[in-house]
Chain A
Amino acid sequence: MIELKGVSCRFGSTVAVDAINLTVETGEVCVLVGSSGCGKSTTLRMINRLLPHSAGEISVDGQDIRRIDVRKLRLNMGYAIQGTGLFPHWTVARNVALVPKLLGWSRDRITTRVDELLTLLGLAPETFANKYPEQLSGGQAQRVGVARALAADPNILLMDEPFGALDAITRDNLQNEMLRIQRQVHKTTVFVTHDIDEALRLATRIAVMDQGRILQHDTPENILRSPANAFVENLLGSQDRGLKLSALRRVGDAMSRHPQPCEPDLETDWLSEDDSLRQALSVMLWHEAEQLPVRDAGGAEIGVLSRDQIWTGAT
C-alpha cells in the first residue's frame, strides 16, 4: 500500500505538486491522468525518491520512505518510462536482468527468470534475448521495458506513460497484455498517462490531476457517472461518455447463457465473452443484428447477447 499525505513538490517558486492525498491499495492499479505539466511524473518520481518531496509524508506499507534505504526502496519498485530507457549497449536479456543482478541473484536463476519474463510479454526468448534495443520495434522495446520493471518481482510498479510513444494498435495490444499480466501478478501499480481511454481501461481507480492537485480519485465507473467538476467532465468528453461506460463492461457479464455450451453456427457473426459491450454494440450496428451468439475462448457457443441486454448492461 502506498500513501501520500499532504505531499507537495516545489521547484523554486513553481509548485509542481500541491499538498495531494492519495492512497493506492495493495494490488490495485492507480492511474494518474491529466494534461501535460499537471504534475503526474513529479508525483510518481517522488514515490521512488528520484525527487524529494518538499512537504507531507509518503509511506509504503506503513513505513515512511525517507526512513527506508533509497536503493532498497527502488530495488523493490519496478520502474518503466516512456521511451523505454533501455540501455543501448546491452542485450535485451542483460537489460531485463538489470535489477536481479543488482540484487545478486545467481546466474541460473537470472537466466530462468529472463526467459520466463520474455515469454510472459510475448517475446520468444530464443529470438529476442540476444538482440540489442536498436534492433527492436517500438512495441517490442516497450515490452522489454515492462519485462525489466517486473524482473525482480517487485511489490510495486511505477509506470510513466510507458505506452505514450506507440501507435494505436500496438498500444491497444500492450494494454491487453497489461491487463492479462496484472490478473496474474497483482502488483500495486501507479500508472501515469494523459490518455483518458487508457486510464479507464487499466485503472482500478483513477486520480484526475490538474495543476498539481488531485481533482477526483475514484473508480472509472464512478468518474464516468459523476465527474466532480467541469474539468473532469471535459476530460471525459461529454459526447461519448455512454460509449466509454459501455466499454467498461464485458459481454460475458450481460449475456444470457445457454444451459450447455453448443456447437457454433459457422455462418453468422459472433462476439467473444471478453469483448466489451462497446465492441458488441459496434458489431450489432454494423450487421444490423438484433442479437449475436457469444463464444468462449475455446470457440464453443455459450450464449447470446441481445440489443436490450446491452442497454440494461451498460447503464
Chain B
Amino acid sequence: MLAPASDMPNRVVPVLASLALVLIWWLDFGIVQPNRIVPGTGYGLVEAIGAANSAGLSAGLLALMVMARHRFRARFYGLGALVALLLMWQPILLAEFADRQLPADAAYARTAIGAGFWSLLFLLGLMAIEVLSQLPSPRGHHLILVALVLVVWGVCVAAGRLDSLSLVTEYASRPDQFRQALTHHLALSLSAVLCSLVIAIALAIMMMRRDRWRQPVLATVSFLQTIPSLALFGLLIAPLSALSTAFPFLQTLGIRGIGWAPALLALVAYSLLPIVRNTYVALSEVPDDLVDAGRGMGMSERQLFLKLKLPLAMPIIIEGVRVTTIQAMGLTAVAALIGAGGFGTFIFQGLGQAAMDLVLLGALPTIALALAADGVLTALGQVCRPAGLKANG
C-alpha cells in the first residue's frame, strides 16, 4: 500500500524553491525605464533590494526546501505560512527597489518588474497551489491565503508605495477606462454564459424528448467550437452589418457589424458546447429507475424535472458553467478586436504601442477574473451538491 502523500517527503516544493533561488540571482530583478517607451536598465538582486534583503529572500527559499524534506505532521501548515509570508513580502521588496534605484529628478521614470521577480512570483504561486492541495479542506485555507496576500499588495498600492511601478502608472493614467473595461468585460462574458445556459437547458430537454435531435445538436455545437475564434468574430461582421443596414432600428439598439452584438453571438456560440454537453449528460444520466419510480407514483413530468432530474444534475451543470465562464472570460479579451470593449482593448493597444505594461494591465485582470470565476463557481458547485450524495459521486 502506498503511504499517504503527506507522510512522504515533498519533492515539488524543493524543486520549485531551488529553481526560484537560481533564477532570482541569475535574472534581472527590476528594471528602471526613463519613460514609457524606451527600454530600461536591468538590476540584479543585490543592486535592486540590497544585500540584507537578498540574503533574507534566499534564506526563505532555502527554509522552504529544508522544511519540505522533513516529515513532521504540521509541515504543510508551516510551508503554507512561509510561502504566504514570502508572497506578502514581495510588494515591499518592489517598493524598496523603487526607493533605491528610481532617479528622484526624472518625472517620467518608472520601475518595471524584471524577469527574476516574475519568475519568483510565478514559482511562489505554484508552491502555494502545491502546499494548499496537501492541506485538508483546501478551500478555507485557499481563501485565507489569497485574501492575506491581496490585502498586503492592496495596502502597498493604496499607500502609494508602488506608484512608480509602470503597471500602476499605466492604470493611474486611465482609471475610468479601466473601470469601463471591467464593466464591459464582465457584462459581455456573463451575459454570454447566461444566454448559453438558457439555450443549453432548452436544447438538452429537446434532445431528451427526441433522440434523433441528439446527434445533429451535439455535432453543431462541437463544430462551432472548432472555428478559430478570430475567424468567428470576423465572420459575423458581414451578416450583422448587412442586417443593421437593412433594418435601421437595429442600429439604435447598438447592433452593428462590430461592437457587442457580434462579440456576444460568437461568445454564445463558443460557450454552447461545454454547457450543452454537460447539461445533456447530467440530465440524461439520472437513473431510469428513479424516474420510473417517480412517474409510477404519480409525479408529473414537470415535477420529475424540477424535483428529481434538475437537482441531481446540478453539480455537473454547474461544472459546465464553470468551464464555460473561464473560457468566456478569456475569449472576451479577443473580442476587443472587433470593438467589443473589455480588457482586450488594453492588450491590443499595448501591443500596438509596444508598451508591455499596458498589455499586462489588460492581461492580469483577465486572468484574475477567470480565477475568481473558477473559485466562485467551484464553491457554488459544492453548495448546490444535493445532500446525501457522496462528495465525489
**Residues on A facing B (Cβ under 8 Å):** 45, 48, 50, 71-72, 74-75, 77-79, 81-91, 98-99, 102, 132-134, 148-149, 158
Q: Are B297 and A75 in contact (CB under 8 A)?
A: yes
Expressed in whole angstroms, the Cα–Cα distance for A202 and B308 within the complex equals 33
Residues of B within 8 A of A79 (CB): 293, 296-297
CB nearest neighbor in B for A44: B296
A36 and B5 alpha carbons, distance in the complex (Å)? 49
B105 within 8 A of A: no
Q: A-side binding surface: helix, strand, loop or mixed?
A: mixed
CB pair B297–A134 under 8 Å, yes or no, is: no
B:160-213 near A, CB below 8 Å:
none
Instruction: Write 20 A-B pairs (CB below 8 A) sorted by A numbering.
Output: A45-B296, A50-B295, A50-B296, A74-B295, A78-B297, A79-B297, A81-B289, A85-B292, A85-B293, A87-B290, A87-B308, A88-B290, A89-B312, A89-B387, A90-B388, A98-B299, A99-B298, A132-B387, A149-B297, A158-B296
The CA of A110 and the CA of B387, in the complex, are separated in Å by 22
Within the complex, the shortest CB–CB distance from A102 to chain B, in Å, comes to 6
Question: In the complex, given contacts A79-B297, A88-B389, A132-B388, what are 9 additional A-B residue pairs having Cβ atoms less than 8 angstroms apart?
Answer: A45-B296, A72-B298, A79-B296, A83-B289, A85-B293, A88-B388, A89-B389, A99-B298, A102-B298
Using CB atoms and an 8 Å cutoff, list the residues of chain B in contact with chain A. 289-290, 292-300, 303, 308, 311-312, 386-390
CA distance A78 to B303 in the complex (A): 18
For the complex, would chain B's binding face be called helix, strand, loop or mixed by DSSP majority? helix
Cα distance, A55 to B295, chains bound together (Å): 23
Please name all residues of chain B whose beta carbon is closer than 8 Å to the beta carbon of A83 when the two chains form the complex.
289
B386 touches A85 (CB 8 A): no
- Decide: A81 and B297 in contact? CB cutoff 8 A: no
- Chain A residues contacting B293 (CB-CB under 8 Å) are 79, 81, 84-86
Q: Give the Cβ gap from A60 to chain B, nearest Cβ, in Å.
A: 14
Question: What are the 7 tightest A-B residue pairs by CB atom distance, in nearest-first order?
Answer: A85-B293, A132-B388, A89-B386, A74-B298, A79-B296, A75-B298, A85-B289
A133 to B292, CA, bound (A): 17
Residues of chain B within 8 A of A133, CB atoms compared: 388
Q: Find out whether the CB atom of A102 lies under 8 angstroms from the CB atom of B299.
A: yes
**Chain A residues positioned under 8 Å from B387 (CB to CB):** 89, 132
Docked Cα-Cα span, A86 to B387, in Å, equals 14
Q: Cβ of A71 and Cβ of B300 under 8 Å apart? A: yes
* Least CB distance, B285 to chain A, in whole angstroms: 13
